[in-house]
Chain A
Amino acid sequence: MNKFVCVRLVQANALDLALFQFDYDLTFAVFLLNADKTIYGRFGSRSDRRDAAKDISLEGFRKALTAALDLHKRYPANKALLAGKQPRPARFKTPEEFPSLAGKYKPRLEYEGKVVQSCMHCHQVRDAERRFLRDENKAIPDQVLYPYPMPNAAGLALDPKEKAKVTGVAAGSPAEKAGFKTGDEILSLEGQPVLSIADVQWVLHNANEPSTLSAQILRRGKKINIALDLAADWRRQSDIAWRVTTWDLRRMVAGGMVLQDSTTAERRAARLPEDTLALRVNHVGEYGDHAVATRAGFKKDDILVSVDGQTGHLGEGELFRYLLQRKMPGEKIPVTVLRDGERMNLELLMQ
């Protein structure tokens, strides 16, 4: 650690979005970079709402730091190798430039005043980006809806205690078709040296739909090149339910409802086949824009069986994608719910 200049940031206020591009749902993110702002690597991954540390470890962190020091030692001779790790053009330079955040925060925390309220959280950046698109009546693209996919979206399970070591390959997944094996170490992706799972996510986040990613792996001491083919809808394998930013998606298209796919037992009790829509309302909001569903007559434990004519099986995230990419604010969507065994028709306002 003493080989680094260590900086701790606790706020998104005035964050340089042209430099610090990462998964804004994280509560712990690390950048390893040169004084000239060239990024060596990123660290910090998450895929679980309750267990924020499930996908990271001190061992993995230490290995990422060591690898960054090695890149630093060889810098700037290796600058071209790092080109893909650098930030992409940013629509707004700071969060405060997003219309929904403009004028609400000062650049610094107010330690002598209401310090908590003066702090902008990182997730607000993603919320603001989606709100910007929505307010412009634009569909929210998959990249914004499923940001920084975990490698399991491509069928790869990686060891949090390592930089990027494969611990499992899902049957039938793009990773399996590409030839990945358990025990493989991913050395580089798209030519970028990989320091962490977050570095893998960076490449995935910026990958096209569809795309073919080149990977160099180390298998039993031998370097092997692999091509990972990703289909056009590959991002949709990502789970977004854990993300705090999904809360605002619930406001936009579910009127504040939290939905969960019915269990087999619940389906049996309600006589709903497995291949049909059966999203149970686990929660209805009480306040403001999150109470739109409540005001429209939706109740906890209702089961949504038809939304905008869609009656096939959809998870909460899949329904959100359908609505966010097809329905704009102000539209009213017909919804049929099952309540106490009776079907009831309601309308849901898109926001």
Chain B
Amino acid sequence: MYQILKIAIRDLGRNRRRSFFSALALAIGLALLLLVASFFNGEMNSAMDSTIRLQSGHIQVRAATYEESKASLKWEDLVVDPEQIVAQIESLDAVKLATPRLYASGIVAVREESAGVRIFGIDPLSEANDPYRVGMLEGEFLTPDDRQGVLIGEPLAEKMALQVGDSINLSVNTSGGDVDEQAFTIRGIYSTQTFGFDSLTVFMPIAKAQTITQTEKHTSFIFVLLHNKDDADAVAAALQGTNNQIRTWTQMNELILQTEAMANSYIYFMYLIVLGITATVIINTLIMSVFERTREIGILAAIGMKSRQIMSMFLLQSTLLAVGGVIMGLIFGLLVVTYFTQNGFYIGNMGLTGMLIGNTIYAQLTLEDTITLTVISFIITLLAGLYPAMLASRMEPVQALRGGK
């Protein structure tokens, strides 16, 4: 066996360049798989994280009849007495914070231009607004008693050529089904690096929002953040029993979860393509090696080497290629993934309102993916070596000695 191994190693050494490029094909394949897996993870985690942080929270408490898609403002569709509910929710240990929010649709009009927006009535003092507060590019954040000020996102400011201090006309739906129009002053421009959110969302203090929409002390929902999102179901269970509906982040973000499941199957398909190409390169190299060594196979057979020994010699060769390729691929792949984990990959303005995606994806590679992809690449290479090895072992010695002719 040792001599067979020696022949296998030296034969790889005989065609160093070819062996190197075959192993490199595997290495690039594996590195690519690791990169794809890490981007996919990063994107899905960031989509979920952004959507929770900016939009859905971990839990929302809504009136039983509230429908998010209609941004309903009728009193019967809204949460009554929100302060009391907030206090009740915040008394739970698992809860980090709770804050009332009012959500209405409207239209911004400036000069000849107009754009549809969503108005977020927020409690400016709540920590829940930190993601918006840290994203302030210009101007000041809102104060609770500001009756004139709004914040707009950077994409909207750019689109309508607006600056801090400019005045805009805002038409807002009211609980009675009418539209009220008022002039507001832009107090600040923010960016959460999430186009789908920033281009649509206009912030104003919740008290002002309640006034203009004529919803008085009602709110659309209570926005709840937990210390740990895995506690969502337990907290939701604890909050049941009122007239309100309790929605957890998994229920609110089904779109993301479904997209993830669907993308998963595409990703597996892509893995198959990459591994298929890699396997073809390996098979090609080994078949070339078999044909070049036809006479050698004949000699080994003539001195009494059995078919299965000849086969194991070629299988050893593909194992060596696989080991080399996988090691190279891991080093190469982890280096590239580490770079993109730290620096991210700019994808620009993507995403929808239901699935917020930041404009930069940061790669996130799990240990599980690393192990699975490495093992699969290794096994595929071994399988690829099977056919050439069988080809070699089935050669008739007489023909092999003639050089296969």
Do A and B bind?
Answer: no
A positions within 8 Å CB-CB of B: none
